[in-house]
Amino acid sequence: MAFINFVVNGTLMRGLSLNQNLLDVTAEFVSDARTAPKYRLWSIRDEYPAMIRDENNGAKIDVEIWKLSAEALVTILQNEPPGLVVGKIELEDGKSMLGVLGETFIVVGQKEITEWNGWRNYLRM
């Protein structure tokens, strides 16, 4: 069976509200990481974040890398809110991996939280 390293940046992270979705599909935590300084982050109704690539005004965002099967990835994506999609995320070490990104329409009118450099940091404020 093939496994994929998958980047998450919000409620799927360890100890947060939807982390059980990863555990239910036997995903394995690999490591904490940071993105390249090319992303911005918004709070969507203070329920979950949306991360969007911005080459010119981005920052490094705290993320987690999880290992899971392709079948598990499909299950995870089916449970994600509308407007969250899979895309390539560039990490600060230069590697690119698949991960959760937001479509631009869901951040309209929402609070930008890029300055906190991550969902977990924003929740602590």
How many CB atoms are closer than 10 A to CB 73? 18
pLDDT tens digits, residue range 75-90? 999 989 999 999 999 9
| Number of domains the chain contains | 1
Question: pTM value?
Answer: 0.95
pLDDT tens digits, residue range 20-50? 999 999 999 999 999 999 999 999 999 999 9
pLDDT band of 125, cuts 50, 70, 90 = confident
Q: Which domain holds residue 115?
A: 3-124
The enclosing domain of 23 has a CATH number of 3.10.490.10
